[in-house]
Amino acid sequence: GQSLEQPSEVTAVEGAIVQINCTYQTSGFYGLSWYQQHDGGAPTFLSYNGLDGLEETGRFSSFLSRSDSYGYLLLQELQMKDSASYFCAVREGTNAGKSTFGDGTTLTVKP
Amino acid sequence: GAVVSQHPSRVICKSGTSVKIECRSLDFQATTMFWYRQFPKQSLMLMATSNEGSKATYEQGVEKDKFLINHASLTLSTLTVTSAHPEDSSFYICSAKGGLAGLSSNEQFFGPGTRLTVL
């Protein structure tokens, strides 16, 4: 089975940088994904780490350390629209949909 | 990017009735789609993997006779909640994986979700 831990809530101000951590315990691990979900909406894919290291996509970066069973999502230059829930998800194999999601982190960006 | 649609977006039904939810990939073919359920303020729970032309694979604890999945074509999967009860009220979300037509195989494309309320 899989279990993931991430903080339940994070608050930051506009323009700041915030890091959302995710630790996992898994019986099988292929990669770590991050998704953003606004209230009432569907999740949208942000990034994926299959190998150790940092992946950068615009203002968002994601990091993975397989040896530490740890990853994080880094959001820079925060904007009000970044207020949302962020989920890390462990992918179990080559099937990208076979993922176990964490409980999500609610990010609140304040002016 | 790839677009996945769901219909209906919202449904209210009486206890004991059946509800069908459609998930369509609009601009790509999806041999595999996934059905998730999400309760308020909670995470997404994978219910089943829907495979075109074959039986769905259900996750442990999900009743296959209650949640009927049909993947009749490369662009359509349906989830039917049979004999719905209030505890089935939830947000049901489908997704399709990439790996086709140049889409990244690492990415899932989610539909907008269907909010089911059973009275």
pLDDT tens digits, A27-68: 888 899 999 999 989 899 899 999 999 999 899 999 999 999
Structure tokens at A96: 């990208």
Give the model's confidence band at B48: pLDDT under 50 very low, under 70 low, under 90 confident, else very high: very high
Structure tokens at B41: 């303020």
Collapsing DSSP states into helix, strand and coil, what is residue A46? strand
Give the model's confidence band at A95: pLDDT under 50 very low, under 70 low, under 90 confident, else very high: low
Instruction: Give the count of Cβ contacts less than 8 A between chain A and B.
Output: 60
Q: How many residues does chain B have?
A: 119
Which residues in B lie closer than 8 A to residue A103 (C-beta atoms)?
42-43
Q: Which of A71, A44, A3, A28 shows the shortest CA–CA distance to B107?
A: A44
> What is the distance between the alpha carbons of residues B47 and B63, in angstroms, rounded to a whole number?
9
DSSP-assigned letter for residue B54 = S
What is the per-residue pLDDT for B1?
A: 64
Measured between CA atoms, how close is A26 to chain B, in angstroms? 16
Q: Side-chain half-sphere of A110: how many Cα atoms within 13 Å?
A: 4
Rounded to 5, what percent of chain A is helix, strand, coil?
Answer: 5, 60, 40
- Mean pLDDT of all residues in chain B? 89
Residue A98 near residue B44 (C-beta atoms within 8 A) = no
Give the model's confidence band at A94: pLDDT under 50 very low, under 70 low, under 90 confident, else very high: low
What is the per-residue pLDDT for B31?
A: 78
Strand pairing partners for A60?
A: A57, A75
Collapsing DSSP states into helix, strand and coil, what is residue A111? coil
Measured between CA atoms, how close is A89 to chain B, in angstroms? 10
Structure tokens at A83: 């207020």
Closest residue in chain A to residue B60, using alpha carbons only? A1
Collapsing DSSP states into helix, strand and coil, what is residue B88? helix
> What is the distance between the alpha carbons of residues B6 and B78, in angstroms, rounded to a whole number?
9
Cross-chain residue pair B110–A102, CB shorter than 8 Å: no
State the maximum Cα–Cα separation within chain A, in Å, rounded to a whole number.
Answer: 42
Q: Which residue has the higher pLDDT, B30 or A39?
A: A39
Cross-chain residue pair A96–B98, CB shorter than 8 Å: yes
Measured between CA atoms, how close is A66 to chain B, in angstroms? 17
> What is the distance between the alpha carbons of residues A38 and B72, in angstroms, rounded to a whole number?
31
What is the per-residue pLDDT for B105?
A: 64
